[in-house]
Amino acid sequence: MGWTVRRAVPGDAERIAAITVAGWRHTYRGVVSDERLDALDPAVFAEARGRAITAPDPTAVFVAEDGDGEVRGACVVGPLRVPEQSGDTSVPSAELHSLYLDPPVIGTGAGRALHDAGIAYLGACGFRRAVLWVYTANTAAQDFYARQGWHADGEPYQPPEWSASATLWARTL
């Protein structure tokens, strides 16, 4: 399946939110509580993704469209959210904030296409290092990111507002 990746527009926010909720429920069942997954509100995600879509650079949201032009995945990149927890920031560093796919398209290349667009964008913005957080129990994501040149860069960490422990991963851009 071929994928078209483009910058998201405000009209994509609700679809991105639906994908994010579906992605959470598919990927994190058994990692975070069922109560949390069942309570996810697409409207909350739509509002947050809408803000990211309209945020100034270097924040960017990319979507992957299938051959029918349907949005099937999204990736958000931008500044570090928590610099003090982001490892070595002696070089200009940014973050891959999220990457979610509509569960039926996992394994079709959409994730790689989104990842590559987000990483290329961060490099073009002048960043030389990127980080992301992966739930420690999410071995499928760890395998995916390792294939894209990422490596674990710290011990598992769980602030009070997170559902489970996560590990910082990093890569050079």
pLDDT digits (tens, 9 = 90+) for 12-52: 999 999 999 999 999 999 888 899 999 999 999 999 999 99
What's the pLDDT at 117?
Answer: 98
pLDDT at 135: 92
Name the strand (E) or helix (H) holding 140. helix 139-147
Beta bridge partner(s), residue 129: 93, 172
Domain of residue 28 covers: 4-128
Q: Which residue has the tokens 């579906």?
A: 22
pLDDT of residue 27: 93
141 lies in some domain: no
CA distances from 86 to 52, 95, 99, 135 (A): 20, 9, 18, 15
Q: What percent of the chain has pLDDT over 90?
A: 84
Among 10, 166, 39, 41, smallest CA distance to 97 is for 166
Beta bridge partners, 32, equal 29
Per-residue pLDDT at 85 exceeds 90: no
Distance from the Cα of residue 163 to its chain's centroid: 16
pLDDT digits (tens, 9 = 90+) for 110-137: 999 999 999 999 999 999 999 999 999 9
Evaluate whether residue 71 is within a structural domain. yes
For residue 82, what pLDDT is reported? 87
Split into its structural domains, the chain has a count of 1
Q: How far apart, in Å, do the first and last CA atoms of the chain sit? A: 27
In a domain, 136, yes or no: no
Task: Please name which of 16, 72, 77 lies closest in space to residue 48, comparing C-alpha atoms.
Answer: 16
Q: Would residue 134 count as lying in a domain?
A: no
CATH number at residue 63: 3.40.630.30
- pTM of the full predicted structure? 0.94
pLDDT at res. 57: 96
Residue 150 lies in a domain: no
The amino acid at 98: S
